[in-house]
Structure 1
Amino acid sequence: MTAAELTTLLHQEIPLSQALGLAVEMAEPNRLRVSGPFDANRNLHGTVFAGSIYCFATLAGWSLVHDYCRRQQLPASVVLRHADIRYLRPLTGAPVAEAWLPEPEDVEQFLHSLRSKGRGRLLVPAELKEGEQVAAKFLGEYVAVRAEH
């Protein structure tokens, strides 16, 4: 899927993404970036709301796993099972989250499990940065359940 197609999917399937102004900026096979406007995600302190940061990281990871499964011709329902986030510094500009696939052996195990058992889990890291400074680090455990045809 293109970045625009993924954005449309997110807005249709996860309406909160539209309220956040979230858009997929870049979708590569192993990496995905989402962004949104500052004004829709600011808090009373003039920084990005922590809940928005969490949503951007979550949706970057979800979109990456969803798109990766599709690229592997393994359509699946993807859900976030567990996540940890560390807020390291305030974000004072537009939120941008980037997620990437983990080590190849972890991805291979995920694919093997999805193909053989119909479900797989994958730990996906993501970060939000302001310039070169990391503002938040996220690690999400996504579970994919193969779609029935």
Structure 2
Amino acid sequence: MVARKSLKQDFCPSARALDVIGDWWSLLIVRDAFDGLTRFGEFQKSLGIARNILTERLRRLIASGILESVAASEGGARMEYRLTAKGKDLFPVVVALRQFGERHLFAPEEAHSHLLERATGQPIRLEVRTQSGQLVGPDEAVIVKVPEPE
């Protein structure tokens, strides 16, 4: 098996983020954590993931500060996995992936889950805007890259 290349030193913020969260299991664990799952068994049941893979992904998410492991609220040796503030910052990423899936991967009348604001029941929509509030699409955006070292 080929070793995974680390992107920790890459100049691109997207590449560094993918180094931490760039496999589907990790993103699905984060999605489930946003949905309120906290226990190893809950993640395993929801995802149908092998124990060894789940253990490794949880370990990596904890090491990178996305999740924290805390003693279960009822005591005992059980642990719960909770999103940290850093992990909660992934909320727009998960919403963007949802919106892409809703827009492009379902037939018009095909049933799927919906993301709603808890207090009002209103659908949640993510938009990209400038600091001044102007809506921005890919044609209006530019990435200013760091010059490659010589």
In which range does the TM-score fall when normalised by the shorter chain? Answer: under 0.3
Question: Higher relative contact order at CA 8 Å, sep ≥6: structure 1 or structure 2?
Answer: 1
User: Based on CA coordinates, which of the two structures has the bigger radius of gyration?
Assistant: 2
**TM score, norm. by length of structure 2:** 0.27
Task: Considering fraction of residues, name the structure with more strand.
Answer: 1
**TM score, norm. by length of structure 1:** 0.27
Task: Considering fraction of residues, name the structure with more helix.
Answer: 2
